[in-house]
A and B are shown apart, each in its own frame.
Chain A
Amino acid sequence: MMDLVLTITAVVLSLAAGGAIIRIARGPSLLDRVLAADVLLAIVGAALCIDMAVNRHLNNLMLLVAVSLIGFVGSVTVARFVADRREQPRES
């Protein structure tokens, strides 16, 4: 049963990573790309979790925490220094 679960989750996570990469590639603004990169990191963390659960080991747990920490620091930093560089900013 675990082989079937591994196949299903591999397909689902591959589709999800493809969607997130498409949004990174054509995101209209920088914040959309940051958000999609965050989702991509969450997908990587999900893949690490599934590997640990299927193969019954705990080697990736520190890597999982480090990945979430990197996503946090990265998105906070980019969101702090983002600026509006569009030619026609929408009037509020």
Chain B
Amino acid sequence: MNPETFTVDTVIDAVSAVFLVVGSLMSLAAAVGLLRFPDLMTRMHAATKPQVLGLFLLLAALGLQMRTWWVWPVLVVAWIFQLLTVPVSAHMVGRAGYRTKHLHPELLSTDELEAVVQQAAGTRGFTDDDGDQPAGRR
């Protein structure tokens, strides 16, 4: 641990190397989860790992490697952009998966939407009784 070999530069390099390896392992974890999980909801759980935490680790490693301060706001903007778009697309995919019943109901621990859906179906049966075609359900 003498100052000739153990400088700040090597410490930053080591930290960014660890960030790079862990951030790419997030992608591998997502792929393993995609291959092994049983239905759409559990696969969505696995698929969000590289999109948020993996990208954060890789952008942090990039910022550490560049050794300048002005890149950090750019990287933060890129990460926040991902952070804003990923929940929206995950929400859309999850909603479409629930409506088209791409899930195993016996694997859910709670189904908070079921009571709401039943109630909505009950009230809609009273108010209007024109035939609802499947394309108009959303």
The answer to whether B62 and A49 have CB atoms under 8 Å apart is yes
Within the assembled complex, what's the spacing in Å between the Cα atoms of A92 and B65?
52
Q: How far is the CB of A65 from chain B (nearest CB, A)?
A: 5
Contact with A along B25-38 (1 / 0, CB 8 A): 11110111011000
| A16, B28: Cβ atoms closer than 8 Å | yes
Contact B96 A79 (CB under 8 A): yes
Taking a contact as CB atoms closer than 8 A, the residue among B16, B20, B27, B96 that contacts A31 in the complex is B96
When the two chains form the complex, which single residue of A13, A68, A75 contacts B24, counting CB atoms closer than 8 Å? A13
CB <8 Å contact, B50 and A46: yes
Q: Report chain A residues within 8 Å CB of B75.
A: 61
Asked if A83 contacts B135 (CB within 8 A), the reply is yes
Contact pattern, A 75-92, Cβ under 8 Å of B = 1, otherwise 0? 110011011100001101
List the A side residues contacting B66 at CB < 8 Å.
56, 58
Interface size on A, residues (CB 8 A): 52
Check A50/B92 contact, CB under 8 A, given A16-B28, A65-B78.
no
**Which residues of chain A are near B99, meaning CB under 8 Å?**
84
Assess the A1–B62 pair: CB atoms within 8 A.
Answer: no
A-B contact count (CB 8 A): 168
A4-35 residues with Cβ-Cβ distance < 8 A to B are 4-5, 8-9, 12-13, 15-20, 22-23, 29, 31-32, 34-35
Return the CB mask of B55-72 against A: 1 if under 8 Å, else 0: 100110110011000010
Nearest CB of chain A from residue B42's CB, rounded to whole Å: 11
Q: A28 to B93, alpha carbons, bound, how many Å? A: 15
Contact with A along B108-123 (1 / 0, CB 8 A): 0000001001000000
Q: Are A9 and B20 in contact (CB under 8 A)?
A: yes
Tell me the B residues contacting A by CB distance below 8 Å: 13-14, 16-17, 20-21, 23-28, 30-32, 34-35, 40, 43-44, 47, 50-51, 54-55, 58-59, 61-62, 65-66, 71, 74-75, 78, 81-82, 85-86, 88-89, 92-93, 95-97, 99-102, 105, 114, 117, 134-135, 138
